[in-house]
Amino acid sequence: MKTLYLIGFMGSGKSTIGEMLSNMLCLPHIDTDHMVEEVYEQTIASIFQNYGEDTFRVYESEVLKKTSQRNHIISTGGGIVEQKENTQYMNDTGCVIYLKTSFEEIAKRLEDDQSRPLWSQNLQEKKTLFNRREKLYERSADKIIYTDNKSTKEIVEEIKELFV
C-alpha cells in the first residue's frame, strides 16, 4: 500500500480520520501539524503570531519532506496545498485523499474553535480562503471522499474499501 495523504480544509477531520485509519489498518500515522509543533517547539498559533504564515508554510514543507516513509497515513494541515511543491511531493510519493466538507459543515464544526489562526478572520475572508483552497484540493486529489452527514467510522470504512 502507498502512503495515504489526507488533505482538506481545517475542520474536515484529517487528524481524526488519520488516527482511526491508522488503527484500523495497523499503519503508522503522522500529523504534519503536530510534527511542526514538535520540531519547532511552538504551537502553530504561536508560529503564526511570532513569524507569520509564510514562515509556517516553510516549516510545513520541511516537515512534509521528512514523511517520505512508505505505508503511512499522513494527516496534513489545511494549507499544505498552498505550495505547489507540496502537492507535487504528495502526488509523487503516495495517494492523496481529499476529505471534502462543505463550508457550512466546517463553520458548524469550528464554531467555538479559537485555536486556528486563519479561522479567526471575518466570514467573507473565511469563505474566500475556503473557495480558493477547494480548487487546490480538487486538483491535487487522487480520490475525493465527501464527509458531510457521515460519521467518522463511515468515512474511514469508505477509504479502507478503496485501498484494501
pLDDT digits (tens, 9 = 90+) for 93-152: 999 999 999 999 998 887 776 667 667 778 899 899 999 999 999 999 999 999 999 999
Each domain of the chain, given as residue ranges in start order, spans: 3-157
3-class state of residue 1 by DSSP: coil
pTM of the full structure: 0.93
pLDDT tens per residue across span 44-96: 989 999 999 999 999 999 999 988 667 899 999 999 999 999 999 999 999 99
Task: State the Cα–Cα distance between residues 75 and 5, nearest whole angstrom.
Answer: 6
Residue 30 C-alpha cell reads as: 503522522
3-class state of residue 160 by DSSP: helix
In CATH terms, the fold of domain 3-157 is Rossmann fold (3.40.50)
One-character DSSP codes across 54-70: HHHHHHHHHHHHT---S
